[in-house]
Amino acid sequence: MTRCEAKKGMFFGDDIQINKAARPPATTEAMAAARAVLVDAGALLAADDAAGAARLLTRRAADLLACDGAQLDALCEEPVRTVARAVLEAVAEEAAAVEATRRDLLQFFVGAARNSSDALDAAVAEEAETIVAVAFVDFLDAEVERVVGAEDPSQELLDFLRALRERVANEVEKQVFGAGAEALKRVLAIGDADLRRIAFIQAIDGPARLDVLACLEETRRDLKARDGAPADVVAALDGLAAVAAATPIDVDAA
């Protein structure tokens, strides 16, 4: 099943959706931040640096989006207003495209999960680059929070989202850390602590050293930020981090 085919239906229906909480009114601080950005953009436009103004507005779009259209109109005059509107429209279109892609991915993975666990693994691997590009892990975290906060949360949906999040996070590790992620997984699969330590030292003594260490730190941070992270895995990772800190670095090999 392709991702396009998956768009035809949703296994969990309307329970799965992009988090669309209502935006609260802009605070005085937010208005002041937006005004400062617009003033700086106006100065760039006055200096005939339209490209610089557009870059500034794009980079600080979050400050502007904290205000609604009427508030932004009240904060600036032409030609800043026209440029700011054009930039924010482009930013909004890009954000909408990312959200649409995330939603398509979720539908695709739901459809794959209905077939089998292996089909889901294959689907996640197939969309690995897109998963990284649209920060799909962040999207799943937001979905979990949304469902948990619902009046009558679906345990089935929560279980699926959390299981999917774990699969996706593993695939992201492969994409970002490459051989390092695979090497670290092989080390963690060793139950005996002494043998695991020896295998880890061998792993960081080769060309994938930096990838392994980067993956180790990222995995530790991720698990420690999660509620209910397996204590034995966290302890194993902490032990490996201690080994890494005590192991001399061969600069030439690294």
Closest CA to 176 of 124, 132, 137: 132
Q: Residue 196, Cβ neighbours under 10 Å: how many?
A: 19
Low-confidence ranges of the chain (pLDDT < 70): 1-25, 175-181, 248-254
Give residues with Cβ within 8 angstroms of 113, minimum separation 6.
11, 119, 120, 160, 164
**Contact (CB, 8 A) for 148 and 34:** no
* Cα(154)–Cα(148) distance, integer angstroms: 8
Kindly list the domain boundaries of the chain, sorted by start residue. Answer: 3-13+97-172, 28-96, 178-246
Whole-angstrom Cα distance, residue 82 to residue 62?
Answer: 18
pTM above 0.85, yes or no: no
Whole-number Å distance between alpha carbons of 35 and 49: 19
Provide the pLDDT for residue 25.
Answer: 67
